[in-house]
Structure 1
């Protein structure tokens, strides 16, 4: 027996022990012919957005106007997503609905206040059959993720409704490349097989290998996250071994298309030429037996053919985020070869418009949880005089990112709170915009606690550390080097901390070292500065290993509390906060 065959059999044995190969009940339909048509509906990065997202998070770009500006339409909201999916299924005898991770985590208060149980319930109602896990499924650690899957009361907060305890998700959550360090076995089910009238399709679900760099470490300390290509190819071999030749990968890793228009053709001038990023390298190396790759993580929209190792085009899809799009994929299964006819694969993204009838069961679900959370969510905490772009900013430094950094500096500047002179905020922690126009009854320009929580949903503790000036420069360089070289993560600086980025350079050299100043004075490489970041960054998250070397650590209050305190202390109806110019970083 070959080494490879032994490894596949060993993996199969491990999965069988865990019940990881799940066989869904076959669809009941007429006797199949030589082929079977199958519809796959897919979405990704829902992030608990049950209500229609606000600001840029609630629009989809449909084109570019004559003035060169994006043309957008409102999109998203689970009441509309459910309706669109139901309409898409009409006329399709064999259909399955799948997701590529981050269905929960980094969610607005309506879902997060109940540890995303409302989102799981909403996914069940709209007919989700299977999902891969993403990095945000691990925000509260593996034990909480297993509770989300299996049910039970939260370890700390208990059950929202003790008389009707949370009963778990009725759809499997796959994590083929998530391994228990102690046993070497999969920590989550790796694969799932769906039977359509005798046409068996295997699904392999994975999160990105880099998950440990972008989630809190404590909850995943006993887990290893394996290489996506090696993992998918191993389980593709396992599926073929048990006779499943039609294979779909659900991958929480993605790419960046050359255009932000939702239906951009990234196969022009050739297959996959219009997309870049991690998914391109992964897709080119995935075993040729894999027929389709559904992706996520980058919050982009694309349907691209990227050549497989044999040089044949293979469809790779992604449907933006927050339930604003879904992808419809239609394939033909050949019963003679027991495989998907690759040339039959057709995929297109559809906008979740808000001009359709709302799904009544989703409306009732939202109303149920809103009644419980609204007294907290609707509490007014401050005022703004205009839109405050954060996640939707078109520039690396955002007005809202700077404001958050200012709020964290204000919360930790006092000597007994940390004595901070600088605060830095990671851009991925800014999840939305603050929108001036009222989305509820509170009035234009009013900032509610629920809106602030949507911007900062992680409940991270502020952490103040000591760094030398030389270390601070290294931190800035790590924005563009190491794990962040391919996709820079520009930290949002507090007021008074300035520096210059030279875009003609690459990597760490982009930071003009002599330009780094605090309140107009050049940073002293040998001096020590007190710096506040959230605890995720303080532990080296997002590729900022230098921050983990900080000394004299003082862990303080929550980031959301700091933001609320800043608004309460600095704004009023007659003195609203104006959008900051976001000019602390100079780009040349």
Structure 2
């Protein structure tokens, strides 16, 4: 009797719930998009493109297109893909730069981005435009090493960056911690980063990673507007962080390596590749031990026969932007017979002379990294001027004594027009520089306020604002030259 009662009691006892099976989620990462919305046709087959990348994701990765919802929820039921960027979206080809990044923000919304690291070019079109682009994109910008202003009087300068965010895909909570480049405050144009503080990478991660786990993340990944090779020593030092993987930008070429057991990956740039990371997560395991499988791969986005079809809705929207672009900037303003190479003396002379003569300065000083491309042989359009120098930079004139010119012209970042060095002596417009003579230097707002370590602000605290962006005098000057196939721009520059 007792045995029967025991058997009955056992049979009536509630069964323990079965442990949930490990779950797979997919993280897709791009970086350094730099306004390259359209595929590159320099190679055959073409590479990259925003609509083309989304076509890959929807056909190959089971990603659902569309702007994410509240808390980064996917735009479809049971979506298990999480799309992230390491940062630097807007400045680049004129289809983006001429419209201050709006086509890129629209595209990223359609592509379903859930978050981005705060890149050092996100503020290229100003803080108000950044806020507008953030609203259009519909996703937050993250940075664990950028701290908001500590003074209440500076609260209006808060960039509203979170150190991390948690996104739920299926039953998995994915913690995303982001880093901005350590030099972000120096590379952003003056005033746009005011009040915000940048702290070193390691202490930022030491604080953010435990915090995101405490907030409930099952797994933690790090995205960074920094090449993973720079962060490798830090990650190797901290296996206790148990980061699933680190994806970084600013390498411009793919990087795939490891720090201990943590993959360090850069997918490259311009939507020509993306990182595909499939995580297998067992949420029943203890915190820090829930990642039970990880497969990573950098996928090339290549068009041509057999490639997935571009996303039709995004492709149509980009065609609309292209039409607006061509209407605004399609004017043919000149002609180059041989083309003008990026980072060539001819390119620097073209921009420098155009600005100097249109502004009425003695010389022009620009910076090498402000030039981001060349010009193909044939007609030169206004759009090409923006593609070569895509940044929203106003021209300023600065009064500088001859004795101070060498400190500017001998900066390794400098490119100049109107000045030359003969032996150890400098000349301006062919005449020897006189130490006490005051020269008018045309330069860019970014350089005036200390970009690339130029001393303009110290030398002239009261510069003159021209009120024009750098591309305007270049377009006007080039149009005025009346260059043709028989009389190309190259001949006007020599």
Q: Same fold (TM over 0.5)?
A: yes
CA distance in 1 between counterparts of 2:168 and 2:106 reads 24
Alignment match, 2:8: none
> What secondary structure, in the 3-state scheme, does the structure 1 residue paired with 2:174 have?
strand
Name 1:428's counterpart in structure 2: 369
Which position in structure 2 is the counterpart of 1:304? 257
Please report how far the alpha carbon of residue 564 of structure 1 lies from its aligned counterpart in structure 2 after TM superposition. Answer: 0.6
Which of 447, 457, 473 is 1:537 aligned to? 447
What's the counterpart of residue 131 of structure 1?
A: 116
Q: 1:539 to 1:330 in 2, by over 3 A?
A: same
Residue 139 of structure 1: CA displacement? 1.9
Counterpart of 2:39 in structure 1 is 52
Q: Deviations over 1:109-147 (max 9, x none)?
A: 333444323222211222222211212211233333223
User: C-alpha displacement at 1:196, in angstroms?
Assistant: 3.5
Structure 2: 5+ residue runs without aligned partners?
1-17, 65-78
Is 1:569 the counterpart of 2:492? The answer is no
> How has the CA–CA distance of structure 1 residues 234 and 470 changed in structure 2, closer, same or farther, with 3 Å as cutoff?
farther
Q: Tell me the residue number matched to 1:491.
A: 414
CA contact (8 A) 2:82 2:169 kept: no
Q: Does structure 1 residue 331 correspond to structure 2 residue 276?
A: no
* Cα drift, residue 227 of structure 1: 2.6
Q: Which of the two has higher C-alpha Rg?
A: 2
CA distance in 2, matches of 1:285, 1:385: 55
Deviation (angstroms), 1:576:
1.3
Alignment match of 1:549 (pick from 422, 442, 458): 458
Q: How far has the Cα of 1:447 moved from its partner?
A: 1.0
Contact 2:365 2:409 in 1 (8 A): no
Paired position in structure 1 for 2:10: none
Q: State the Cα distance separating 1:465 from its structure 2 match.
A: 1.3
Structure-2 change in CA distance of 1:409 and 1:197 (3 Å): same
Question: In structure 2, the residue corresponding to 1:407 is in which secondary structure?
Answer: helix
Instruction: Report the Cα offset of residue 298 of structure 1.
Output: 4.1
Does the Cα contact within 8 Å between 2:331 and 2:381 map onto a contact in 1? yes
1:560 aligns with 2:471: yes
Offset of residue 365 of structure 1: 0.5
**1:269-308 to 2 correspondences below 5 Å:** 275=229, 278-281=230-233, 283-284=235-236, 288-289=240-241, 290-305=243-258, 307=259
Change (3 A) 1:344 1:553: same
Preserved contact between residue 110 and residue 314 of structure 2 (Cα < 8 Å): yes
Other structure's SS at 2:203 match: helix
2:391 alignment counterpart: 458
Tell me the TM-score normalised to structure 2 length. Answer: 0.80
What is the aligned counterpart of 1:475 among 395, 408, 419?
Answer: 408
User: 1:115 pairs with 79, 100, 113, which one?
Assistant: 100
Partner of 2:209: 236
Residues 170-201 of structure 1, C-alpha deviations (whole Å, 9 max, x = no match):
32222333333135887223221123443322
| Match in the other structure for 1:164 | none
- Structure 2 CA distance for aligned equivalents of residues 471 and 35 of structure 1: 67
1:525 is displaced (CA, Å) by 5.7
Once the two structures are superposed, what CA deviation does each residue of 1:327-382 show, in whole Å capped at 9, x if it has no partner? 22233334314446779544332222121322211121012223333211211111
The one of 310, 321, 345 aligned to 1:358: 310
Secondary structure of the residue that 1:147 maps to in structure 2? helix
Q: Per the alignment, in what secondary structure is the counterpart of residue 329 of structure 1?
A: strand
Match of 1:265 in 2: none
Write out per-residue CA displacement over residues 495-543 of structure 1, whole angstroms, 9 at most, x where no aligned residue.
54248xxxxxxxxxxxxx9365556776566654332211111111133
Report the equivalent of 2:15. none
| More off after superposition, 560-569 vs 243-252 | 243-252
After TM superposition, give the deviation of residue 561 of structure 1 in Å.
0.9
Counterpart selection for 2:144 from 158, 165, 176: 176
CA–CA separation in structure 2 for the residues paired with 1:242 and 1:140: 34
Q: 1:543 to 1:300 in 2, by over 3 A?
A: farther
- The residue number in structure 1 matching 2:379 is 446
Equivalent in the alignment of 1:95: 81
Residue 200 of structure 1: which of 173, 176, 183 is its match? 173
**Secondary structure at the counterpart of residue 201 of structure 1:** strand
> In structure 2, do the counterparts of structure 1 residues 199 and 368 end up closer, same or farther at CA, with 3 Å as the change threshold?
same
Per the normalisation by structure 1, the TM-score is 0.69
SS at match of 1:122: helix
When the two chains are superposed, the root-mean-square deviation of aligned CA atoms in Å is 3.2
| Aligned: 1:578 with 2:487 | no
CA distance in 1, matches of 2:311, 2:170: 29
Structure 1 residues 339 and 398, CA, compared in 2 at 3 Å: closer, same or farther? farther
